[in-house]
Amino acid sequence: MPEITYREAVTRALREALKDPRVFMMGEDIGAYGGPYAVTKGFLHEYGEGRIKDTPISESVIVGAGIGAALAGLRPIVEIMTINFTLLAMDQIVNHAAKLRYMSGGQFSVPLVVRTVTGGGAQLAATHSQNFEGWYAHVPGLKVVVPATPYDALGLFRSVMEEQDPVIFVEHIRLYSTRGPVPDELYTVPLGKAEVKREGSDLTLVAYSRMVHVALAAAQQLEQEGINAEVVDLRTLRPLDAATVVASVRKTHRALVVEEDWLTGGFGAEVASRIQEGAFDHLDAPVGRVGGVEVPMPYASNLEEAAIPSPERVVRRAKELMGA
């Protein structure tokens, strides 16, 4: 199977989406500049400025105009350069996009895709290294998609374009250059279906986005110590496939939730809660969590590295849960 990068997978997904004349893109520097992460490089030339729209730095109207265009029957894909900047569009995302179907008694749909970039690890410091996807997953009416691999990025995006509801599609800054197998044949990955990335029998590591790779690396290290970890990739936060997680934990009897976000009020707490609701009698240890250190992200490389969950931290915590 051919290997492509995560960036190339998103680019391919967007090109496919743009075959639909109702689809257009808006965002900051997606056109002439080529996209802040080069995902849309060449798009302006290829599709023209009618469909690839460079906007002012105006996150609220980018999303709001996307909502309006979606209400009017188009399929806008808007890009907010990073998830940190989505805070400037939060009114549009949370108060409007997420509400309009319900509040209008089902009269309106908002088939809007908001693409954005999450995560730390690029030495961009506190205002540019956050993980707010869990905040959006809190909101009924939104769907939150968090691919960890090129395969999922493409397959999930294809499903996203079939949605009639607003979707926050969250790419990870540290994943763009990672590679993975992606078939040439058409496939889709449904929303709301977690994937067991690695089978194991001793404990379940639950993760999403880049933390899937951290969990997989941890599982490899654990294997050398005789601990056989299963790794579950959530792939979407809302809808959340708790059933797959619970089934895994019922099998392994131990769970460790790994997230890049801060733990307090974080999405991992929701996952932990679902596990204890669904597998309480099967647990041989409390549900564990590993998350980002609760500080605004520091710039210095060594501090930043210490703040983000590493395979070593996951291994340490896993061994504690194993009583080892």
Q: Which is nearer to another protein, 143 or 174 (CB)?
A: 143
As measured in angstroms, the least distance from the Cβ of 156 to another protein is: 16
**Enzyme catalytic residues:** 59, 128
3-state secondary structure of 132: coil
CA distance 28 to 52: 10
Residues 148-177 close enough to bind another protein by CB under 8 A: 163-165
* List 141, 155, 288, 291, residue binding another protein (CB under 8 A): 141
126 within 8 A of 140, measured Cβ to Cβ:
no
Q: List the structure tokens of 128.
A: 């540019």
| Window 3 to 32, contacts with another protein (CB under 8 A) | 24
Task: List helix spans (H) across the chain.
Answer: 6-17, 43-47, 59-71, 90, 100-103, 133-137, 150-160, 210-224, 242-252, 267-279, 301-307, 311-321
Q: Using the rule CB under 8 A, which residue among 2, 19, 140, 226 binds another protein?
A: 140
Q: How far is the CB of 177 from another protein (least distance, A)?
A: 33
x/- map, 91-130, another protein, by CB under 8 A: xx--xx---xxxxxxxxxx---------------------
Contacts with another protein: how many residues (CB under 8 A)?
A: 42
Contact indicator for 323, 317 with CB cutoff of 8 Å? no
Question: Closest distance between another protein and the C-beta of residue 43, in Å?
Answer: 16
Residue that has been written with the tokens 């769907």 in this structure: 143
Amino acid found at 292: G
Binding site for another protein (CB under 8 A): 24, 50, 53, 55-56, 58, 60-61, 63-74, 76, 88, 91-92, 95-96, 100-109, 140-141, 143, 163-165
